[in-house]
Amino acid sequence: MKDFSEYEVDDYLGDPSFREWVSNGGFRQQQAVWTKRLQNNPEQKEIATQARQLLIATAVKEADLPERFVENIIDNTLYEIRNPREEQPVYPLRSFRPVWAAASVVLLILAGLWFFRQNDTPRKDLLADRKAVPANVAMVEKNNLTAHVIPVALPDGSTVLLQPASRISFPEAFGDEKRDVYLSGQAFFEVTKDPQRPFYVFANEMVTRVLGTSFTVSAFDDRSSFTVIVKTGKVNVSSSNKGKGQKTAPAIDLTPNQQVTFHRKELSLVRSDVKISAAPVPATENFYAFNDAPVTEIFKKLSKEYDVNIQIEEKLLADCALTTTLMDEPLFVKLKIICEAIGPGTNFSVLNDTIIINSKGCNQ
């Protein structure tokens, strides 16, 4: 049997006694063997906490998901644990007042498990001009006929803010090699990082490829030009022959504060700098630090900066405060982290253009 001092996340996940300790309340069992063991071994406590929060997240019972989809989520989560991004600083675990402990970064990829099926109707061949989509692939389409932004959750946990008069379609579950979505109109994307499966946005003759970043695509069918604006990360934009799928112009890489304009008639791409504060992207921050902040104010801040309607019961959450750091996670992941920190009786759902926070109160 492997020595406890050498345990990695995988070992904790595979240890029946550790899983039982997590399911029975974890550190709230002050006299439990695992509680004392980890308190006396701080070098192992952080690794064990990551495993614990992974078990908590995967214990949520929702609608049945495709088997391979769940496996991909677990694989991607373990990849993030084993291969931390060097450019990102490491922050201490979040703390919550009055009682409940906050969530860890391993929840970033798991948020999509709660939301991607809600209010989505599986259909096939939703966009007639997407001949590359196999006829046997079940698709989901969102069509924003309102005057407000609609938040859309993708199967991998990515977030899409769909603008009015816009529509997007995507498979019920992404494949093992890539993630394809089809857009007509304008949308802001926050894409979960998955180096093994590039993310593609197809918009008529323009294709945008990313691994994990945030950007806006504007591609209305009746416009003579399209644009892509990058807020974080890096994207690659190319043009293609709509009928044959062949590239007809050199691809262009974009980094933050850059945009590309695609001229449809000439099939040309022109790169330029852009001032993000004046661009059609949410006025979100790349880093949030909340110190004993009322959760109602946190929700209001996210609602304002993402320009989405977040509905909360202020009386129930009036006495809840949170100390946490949030970085470049997609919106739905940020909400999942906050809800987990408030307590096990708090979650959220999406109804049309409104995100509804369902809660029984602090630590409930």
The widest CA-to-CA distance across the chain, in whole angstroms, is 72
Residue 261 is predicted with a pLDDT of: 92
Least confident of 13-17, 44-48, 137-141, 274-278: 274-278
- Does residue 313 register a pLDDT over 60? yes
Q: Note if the pTM is more than 0.75.
A: no
Looking at residue 15, its amino acid is D
Selected residue with higher pLDDT from 83 and 220? 220
Residue 1 is predicted with a pLDDT of: 56
User: What region does 120 belong to: left with phi over 0, alpha with psi -120 to 50, or beta?
Assistant: beta
Residue 63 is predicted with a pLDDT of: 35
**Residue 90 binned pLDDT confidence (cut-offs 50, 70, 90):** very low
User: What are the pLDDT digits (tens) for 219-244?
Assistant: 988 888 999 999 888 999 988 765 55
Highest mean pLDDT among 47-56, 59-68, 94-103, 326-335: 326-335
Least confident of 16-30, 66-80, 165-179, 264-278: 66-80
- Does residue 181 register a pLDDT over 90? yes
116 within 8 A of 155, measured Cβ to Cβ: yes
Q: Please report the DSSP string for 139-173 in residue order.
A: EEEEEE-SSS-EEEE-TTS-EEEEPTTEEEEEESS
Selected residue with higher pLDDT from 128 and 343? 343
Residue 152 is predicted with a pLDDT of: 92
Burial of 327 (0-12, 13-18, 19+ CB in 10 A): middle
pLDDT, mean over the chain: 75
Residue 116 is predicted with a pLDDT of: 38
